[in-house]
Amino acid sequence: MSQSANPIELDALIVGAGFSGLYQLHMLRNLRGLSVRVVEAGDSVGGTWYWNRYPGARCDSESHAYCYTFSPELTEEWDWSERYPGPEEILRYLNHVADRFELRPWLDLNRTVQSARFDETGHRWLVNCDDGNCYSARFLITAVGCLSTANIPAIEGLGDFSGRWYHTGQWPRNGVDLSGYRVAQVGTGSTGIQAAPVIAEAAAHLTVFQRTANYSVPARNCALTDEVRQQQKADAAVIQQVMHSNTNGHPWTINPQNALDTAADERHTIYEQSWATGGLKFRSVFADLLIDSKANDTAATFIRNKIREVVKDPTTADSLSNIDHPYGAKRPPIDTNYFETFNRDNVELVDLKKTPIVRIDSNGIQTSAGHHAVDIIVFATGFDAMTGSLLRMDIQGRQQTLADAWAAGPANYLGLQVAGFPNLFTITGPGSPSVLSNMPVSIEQHVEWITECIDYVLETGNTCIECTDEAMAGWVQHVNDVANATLLPTVKHSWYLGANVPGKPQVFMPYAGGLDRYRQACNEVAENDYEGFTLS
Ligand code: NAP
């Protein structure tokens, strides 16, 4: 690795200026007085929301819970306009945070990390960027998000396509004019389910290519009235206490009642009520949905019936409701008029289970059943999740690269540190609750833990903290054990397992034991003088 002669000397370098990077910067610079900078590839703050501006993009967490909780003043002064915020509003919020906490001077924008190497002698990370700049930092903290590296499928002939194509996670900043065009959308995950209804309204024709049918529950988005906002602010302390103490980081707790202990009529009424309320809370309507397949069947059947009620064409309804996995075992989408969209005259579903894509040619997509001429292809095909953005930074630890260390899948301690990579912290890394929780709550927990850990290293006069191989092996085992106690790993094509990216090792990545249990584990490690870490 070549190095610039004059690296910028820092206590800590943070990579990424989304929710995680901004809060970590605030903690270490403003509250601890360390020298810190943030490297960010985009030309502004926002992280995931900077890149994901596809039609229909909207957060699935509710606005009053999808925000920081560390500053009561910030909570009090910020007004959300809708139940679920869109990218523009989240970007306004994060820009407000950057201004309010005077973070901008420490952001190095339009700069991408190309490589990072741990220097044994100085106990420092040497980080090279694409524009020739180099940093030397005691601590390296990745805040790169879990869903930031686009997964563009290697479909034969894409290079021959004469129209335009886009991935939803790299959507052009100024938008794409779809009006009057024939659009193909490949993918029906959370993104595709949000995008299709909005694309259908703009495009002349939309063809949705579905490989795996998916559940979805109505989001029931709405504008927030002043009254609702005032109530949310008045209740903020209680709401935040719930979010910080429960399993999922959302402003509700899981109903302790089991679906299988509930009479069929009452169960149906509860599902109907939850369907009417809408949102991710549907997943929490009974305690046994994600651990008992018979319980799960009751929710799955309810949603399949809803799909068949909504979708008028029986063949399309069959394809949409022919779902091959338990409800919630893949990330459950929520939607605004997704299934209703298939009743439009200008929308068609292609069921790739029946008629797979053969190739793309200059003017469209060829399946085993026929040719679909299109002008624009939208790939809503997801991400190289959780590890993709970490591995592309070419991180070299004491003896090997992170790519080599994780050749068989990610392994770390508490989702935060990898043996052989001292002073490297991964916010919302694999092995932490991250994507199974309300992200900002998980992020705050990680940032605060990392900050206190750095305090400890510095206060004890050390320069280096590194987890042990034994601690890491124990955590990996625990992550597997808690996942295997649920239905989540039973879905073999889930991105939670890395199965959506050809050649990626298949390891269940997020921590499924719950944010409350995870928080406790992290606290205990800290209280026991950072048990499982060595300091030097
Ligand atoms: P995803 O869940 O991985 O879905 C990708 C879709 O593309 C799936 O339907 C997949 O089919 C399909 N696909 C992939 N490769 C394909 C190929 N070669 N041919 C045909 N179809 C292909 O990705 P996503 O929808 O972008 O969502 C990823 C995650 O981002 C979500 O689970 C969620 O955590 C997050 N997200 C959050 C929000 C929010 O909060 N607002 C919104 C969007 C996304 P298979 O299922 O058969 O693989």
Quick one: 180 exposed, middle or buried, by C-beta within 10 A (0-12, 13-18, 19+)?
exposed
Q: What atom in ligand 1 is closest to the CA of residue 381? A: 7
Whether 529 is in a domain gets the answer no
Ligand 1 and 192: CB distance under 6 A: yes
- Ligand 1 center from residue 455 Cα (angstroms): 39
Compute the average pLDDT of residues 393-409: 98
- Ligand 1 pocket mutation, candidates 155, 199, 208, 211, criterion most atoms within 8 A of CB: 211
Whether 182 is in a domain gets the answer no
Q: What atom in ligand 1 is closest to the CA of residue 212? A: 47
User: Please, what is the Cα angle at 310 between 304 and 315, to 5 degrees?
Assistant: 75
Whether 341 is in a domain gets the answer no
Compute the average pLDDT of residues 346-362: 98
Amino acid at residue number 401? T
505: pLDDT strictly greater than 80? yes
1: pLDDT strictly greater than 60? no
5: pLDDT strictly greater than 80? no
Q: What atom in ligand 1 is closest to the CA of residue 60? A: 40
Quick one: 261 exposed, middle or buried, by C-beta within 10 A (0-12, 13-18, 19+)?
exposed
Compute the average pLDDT of residues 480-504: 95
Whether 491 is in a domain gets the answer no
Please give the pLDDT value at position 4. 53
Query: At 299, is the pLDDT very low, low, confident or very high (cuts 50, 70, 90)?
Result: very high
Ligand 1 and 284: CB distance under 6 A: no
Residue 409 φ then ψ, to 5°:
120, 160
Residue 463 φ then ψ, to 5°:
-120, -5
Give the Cα separation of 137 and 328 in Å (integer).
Answer: 41
CATH number of the structural domain spanning residue 442: 3.50.50.60
Domain extent at residue 78: 8-149+385-464
The neighbouring-strand residues paired with 345 are: none
Q: Which of 341, 401, 383 is nearest to 218 (CA)?
A: 341
Ligand 1 and 434: CB distance under 6 A: no
Compute the average pLDDT of residues 103-126: 97
Ligand 1 and 380: CB distance under 6 A: yes
Residue 321 φ then ψ, to 5°:
-100, 0
295: pLDDT strictly greater than 70? yes
Residue 80 φ then ψ, to 5°:
-85, 145
Q: What atom in ligand 1 is closest to the CA of residue 382? A: 23
Whether 298 is in a domain gets the answer no
Indicate the angle between helix axes 293-310 and 314-321, nearest 10 degrees.
160
Q: How far is CA 236 from CA 22, 27, 72, 380, in A?
A: 22, 22, 9, 35
Ligand 1 and 56: CB distance under 6 A: no
- Ligand 1 center from residue 156 Cα (angstroms): 20
The neighbouring-strand residues paired with 8 are: 135
The DSSP symbol for 30 reads I
Whether 429 is in a domain gets the answer yes
Residue nearest to atom 24 of ligand 1 (CA): 382
The neighbouring-strand residues paired with 357 are: 367
Whether 378 is in a domain gets the answer no
Compute the average pLDDT of residues 205-213: 98
Quick one: 506 exposed, middle or buried, by C-beta within 10 A (0-12, 13-18, 19+)?
middle
Compute the average pLDDT of residues 87-100: 98
Ligand 1 and 488: CB distance under 6 A: no
- Ligand 1 center from residue 457 Cα (angstroms): 40
Record the pTM: 0.97
Please provide the distance, in angstroms rounded to a whole number, between the alpha carbons at the two ends of the chain: 26
- Ligand 1 center from residue 497 Cα (angstroms): 13
| Both structure tokens of 459 | 């206060």
Pairing of the two strands 533-535 and 465-467: antiparallel
| Both structure tokens of 189 | 């995950």
2: pLDDT strictly greater than 60? no
| pLDDT tens sequence across 14-62 | 999 999 999 999 999 999 999 999 999 999 999 999 999 999 999 999 9
88: pLDDT strictly greater than 90? yes
| 1/359: higher pLDDT | 359
492: pLDDT strictly greater than 90? no
Pairing of the two strands 134-142 and 424-426: parallel
Check if the beta carbon of residue 275 is closer than 8 Å to that of residue 218.
yes
DSSP of 61-127, one letter per residue?
Answer: S-TTTSS--S-HHHHHH----BSS--HHHHHHHHHHHHHHTT-GGGEE-S--EEEEEEETTTTEEEE
Whether 501 is in a domain gets the answer no
Ligand 1 and 167: CB distance under 6 A: no
Indicate the number of domains in the chain: 1
Pairing of the two strands 124-129 and 134-142: antiparallel
CB atoms within 10 A of CB 383: 24
Please write down the long-range contacts of 200-205, taking CB distance under 8 Å and 24 or more positions apart.
200/341, 200/344, 200/346, 200/347, 202/55, 202/177, 202/178, 203/178, 203/179, 203/346, 203/376, 204/179, 204/180, 204/346, 205/346, 205/347, 205/348
Give the Cα separation of 156 and 6 in Å (integer).
Answer: 46
Q: How far is CA 36 from CA 2, 11, 25, 214, 489, in A?
A: 23, 6, 7, 43, 39
